[in-house]
Structure 1
Amino acid sequence: MNTQKILFLCALLGAFALAFTVLPPGTLSLDTIKTHQQTLLAQVERAPLQSALVYFGLYVVVSALSIPGAAILTLLGGALFSLWEGVLLVSFASTLGATFAMLASRYLLRDWVQRRFARQMHIINTGMARDGARYLFALRLMPLFPFFLVNLLMGLTRLSAIRYGWISQLAMLPATVLFLNAGRELGELTSLRDILSPGVLFAFTLLGLLPLVTRWLFSRYTTSFKK
């Protein structure tokens, strides 16, 4: 294992230790953030820049380590910050965390991922070979694979980290705005099901299918034109 991999592993272990220290079990729950909403709002008003940086760093760690609760953190961002501030913080933090998770899979967890998710990896490889980066865009919008699994499996593809990052950021933006906007009415929410209705999931699925359908139609059109 070279020096870069050792440093990356040390950073990952440090992030794990930090996460379990700062986020004990039960912290990232809807009831918990509703209970402490006013206290956190007061903190944001006293130190807005410091609060934004802490929130950003916490979101990166949660995303990178695939800790359950990113959706709850997004709701909290909507309650604590303005919509445009929340979009900037969550969009870049979630993208950075997802990219770190993908790189960890590529350089540290490759053998384990290949053994543990062989069937899913076959599906990913087939989709990437057929549709390229459009397939990643579709995966991010459609609930075919969980967020953490997309990060792990994409680490074993040849997609560059930069391309992976901006495509993920673009595809995750609609859900980011949806959850941030819902967080503005945090006190009224009783469950995440209040946000992710069947209609919303269907709309996201259609949006995810758009680039794949467009490619298919373009392929059919060019084939017919050549004939």
Structure 2
Amino acid sequence: MRKPLIFLGLIALAVIAAFLVADPDPERLRALRDSLAAWRDAHPLALPIGFFVTYVVVTALSLPFAVWLTLLGAALLGFWQGLVLISFASSIGALLAFLVARYLMRDWVRGRLGPRLAKIEKGAARDGEFYLFSLRLIPVVPFFVINLAFGLTRMKAWKFYAVSQLGMLPGTAVYVAAGAQLGDLNSLPGIVSPGLLGAFAALAVFPWVARAALRVWAR
């Protein structure tokens, strides 16, 4: 019963958001951004804390909104504050999902993931922490699948957290940089600014660079 209620609430939020940004007028979008920034300035602690808790919950529940939260958080908080909060929130949320899968939902996870779980268990047994690091660095497997599947492996929780924190950091930095550039956007022509174009280019190139780096490391 709880899951349908969660998804109904998320659908309602999506509809409200659609109405808020339905008008493509840049002035309207800037006004929305400025109102959020004004609320941030008026509540300098409430916004970061609320965002951090929300991100942990979204990650722990394996809800598919982490990327959008990353961009939004970076736009509101800036690069460095956004990077620190998102890096730790995503890792803590992943650890919570890992622990829930290990101690509370083993049978459900095994039945839900099926063949994907067997592949991850085999890779973890063969390469251990390096396998987890490669999955975190190159997102070929959804992060929520990694969180749940590794809960059924023999990897210690502290190792899972440490490797996840390190492995997700480069990709998180790229997305946070893109979100921070979007937060500084003042007009539609600003989309072609060097900073924003560079952030989008980094998003496109990062998986290839990470793959090459992993091959060098493996050798």
Q: Same fold (TM over 0.5)?
A: yes
Q: Percent identity?
A: 38
Count the aligned residue pairs. 196
Matched, 1:25 2:14: yes
One-letter amino acid of the counterpart of residue 119, structure 1: P
- Aligned mates of 1:91, 1:127 — CA distance in 2: 25
Structure 2 residue ranges without an equivalent (≥5) = 186-190
Match among 181, 205, 208 for residue 202 of structure 1: 208
Match among 54, 58, 61 for residue 58 of structure 1: 54
- Aligned mates of 2:17, 2:80 — CA distance in 1: 23
Query: What aligned pairs does 1:1-227 form with structure 2 within 5 A after superposition?
Result: 20=9, 24-25=13-14, 35=29, 36-186=32-182, 187=185, 188=191, 196-197=203-204, 199-211=205-217, 213=218, 217=219
- Aligned mates of 1:62, 1:147 — CA distance in 2: 12
Distance 1:139 1:170, change over 3 A: same
User: What is the TM-score normalised by the length of structure 2?
Assistant: 0.77
Aligned equivalent of 2:188: none
- Superimposed CA distance per residue, residues 153-197 of structure 1 (whole angstroms, 9 cap, x where no aligned partner): 1110111221111110111101111111111221437xx977632
Given that 2:178 and 2:200 are in contact with CA atoms closer than 8 Å, whether structure 1 keeps it comes out as: no
Structure 1 residue ranges without an equivalent (≥5) = 1-12, 218-227
1:204 positional shift: 2.4
Q: Secondary structure at the match of 1:185?
A: helix
Q: Secondary structure at the match of 2:155?
A: coil
User: What is the TM-score normalised by the length of structure 1?
Assistant: 0.75
- Aligned mates of 1:89, 1:23 — CA distance in 2: 27
- Superimposed CA distance per residue, residues 50-102 of structure 1 (whole angstroms, 9 cap, x where no aligned partner): 11101101111111111122111111122112322111100110011111111
Distance 1:28 1:182, change over 3 A: farther
Given that 1:138 and 1:208 are in contact with CA atoms closer than 8 Å, whether structure 2 keeps it comes out as: yes
1:206 positional shift: 2.6
- Aligned mates of 2:11, 2:95 — CA distance in 1: 22
Given that 2:101 and 2:151 are in contact with CA atoms closer than 8 Å, whether structure 1 keeps it comes out as: yes
Give me the CA root mean square deviation: 3.1
- Superimposed CA distance per residue, residues 29-70 of structure 1 (whole angstroms, 9 cap, x where no aligned partner): 8x85x9432221111111111111011011111111111221
Q: Secondary structure at the match of 1:121?
A: helix
One-letter amino acid of the counterpart of residue 196, structure 1: L
- Aligned mates of 1:117, 1:158 — CA distance in 2: 17
